[in-house]
Structure 1
């Protein structure tokens, strides 16, 4: 529940931050804060850096697909839509995850019960967060590109979750720290391209 609250609260904080900062700065600030916290935890728990450079391909993929690209897409998308709608669109992540898992993970096949459960959950979230469905329809029609950005971010999160299952041998804290460390290169490239 704590993880859900932290993850869900990010959309509200993104929306508030967009009143004062650019999307690029918000993404960079989130990565800096996350990197400092994870490195601190890594040193407190293991007393040393336990990131293995032999898994650099894993870190590169996860940093690009699982962190930087979704962060950028979601923050840019939230410039035009509110945080509640962003939360609704992000609820497509578990649905896309079970579909991707069915095709790419041999031990997580899609069952009727799984699919039914996630559909019911998605409908429930929609009903709880959005009270006026007529207003939702207007927002979707007027800001379709922004909604597609947020949904694309959700799908990329799903891709990284499925890909991450292939690296069960990696310590979770070390993997998270290495991934977010590699993500700074992606942000640098993105911000450099935005200057042209």
Structure 2
């Protein structure tokens, strides 16, 4: 992969890692479900402007309305809601680690539930390691060695499962330009979250949050969603989905770093151990290191 793409991958990992930090700051003063609507609607507005500039607005066809709503529900509305709810009680770093289980659940959904992919040995090994890593992380709270609520951690795992279902459903958008699909799903999630946000924020005033919080909201919508999607789709076109998927390994590491540096967050030893097991599982799940090792031995 060219150096330019490695730089794009690192930037994307840092942006998505930073999104957990932006959310952690924002949910302190904005109701989680209101924050979801703000994130998707701001990103949607930006991507609509991009489509207009590139002459692609016509590709938002009426026949795709229902699939866009479903994709917006699975890939934005549900996971963002669960992550933001979870982050009202746990740190940005831990939330990002739990969210990094998405590839593990994607294999389970795609291979075992809908039979879209073949379940190979390295994927079985990666899933087992991933599940073991999650079990170790949760055991820290269940045993009382960490104070992070289990319900909040389960919310983040629920978000990962929703992302996995979205990845499986997304196959029907193969003939739709990626930027159009991204904009369409954000339109769908904005429509879904509007009434939810109005209900959840009935007693909340937009004047209440500080300027710092609003800056994090803008960063969440423009930087961590709209710009991140554009970078991700550029990577998909230039470096393949396999190489782009490496961002999964970068996001939790960057979120942990930002959480420690800016918010002073720390993980318990068991949580660090679970994270290490999960990372190994993701590497095994990816499969490339096994191929490289096989080629070197040959």
Coarse TM-score class (shorter-chain normalised): 0.7 to 0.9
2:149 is aligned with 1:143: yes
Unmatched segments (≥5 aa) in structure 2: 1-8, 204-298
> Could you say which residue in structure 2 is the equivalent of 1:70?
79
Unmatched segments (≥5 aa) in structure 1: none
Q: Deviations over 1:142-177 (max 9, x none)?
A: 511111111111110110011001321122111111
2:165 is aligned with 1:159: yes
- Is 149-158 or 13-22 further displaced after alignment? 13-22
> Could you say which residue in structure 1 is the equivalent of 2:174?
168
- Cα RMSD of the aligned pairs, angstroms, is 2.9
Q: Deviation of residue 109 (structure 1)?
A: 1.4
> Could you say which residue in structure 1 is the equivalent of 2:89?
80
- Is 11-20 or 81-90 further displaced after alignment? 11-20
Q: Deviation of residue 22 (structure 1)?
A: 2.3
Q: Deviation of residue 47 (structure 1)?
A: 5.5
Is the CA contact (8 Å cut-off) linking 1:70 and 1:157 kept in structure 2?
A: yes
Is the CA contact (8 Å cut-off) linking 2:90 and 2:148 kept in structure 1?
A: no
> Could you say which residue in structure 2 is the equivalent of 1:57?
66
Aligned match for 2:26, one of 17, 26, 34: 17
Structure 2 CA distance for partners of 1:105 and 1:171, relative to 1, 3 Å: farther
TM-score (norm 1): 0.83
Length, aligned pairs only: 191
Q: Deviations over 1:114-146 (max 9, x none)?
A: 333466678899x9xx9xx96796476651111
- State the structure with more CA Rg: 2
Distance in 2 (alpha carbons) for counterparts of 1:139 and 1:189: 40
Structure 2 CA distance for partners of 1:140 and 1:159, relative to 1, 3 Å: farther
Structure 2 CA distance for partners of 1:89 and 1:96, relative to 1, 3 Å: same
TM-score (norm 2): 0.56
- Is 185-194 or 143-152 further displaced after alignment? 185-194
> Could you say which residue in structure 2 is the equivalent of 1:7?
16
Aligned match for 1:113, one of 113, 122, 125: 122
Distance in 1 (alpha carbons) for counterparts of 2:93 and 2:72: 26
Q: Deviation of residue 27 (structure 1)?
A: 1.3
> Could you say which residue in structure 1 is the equivalent of 2:281?
none
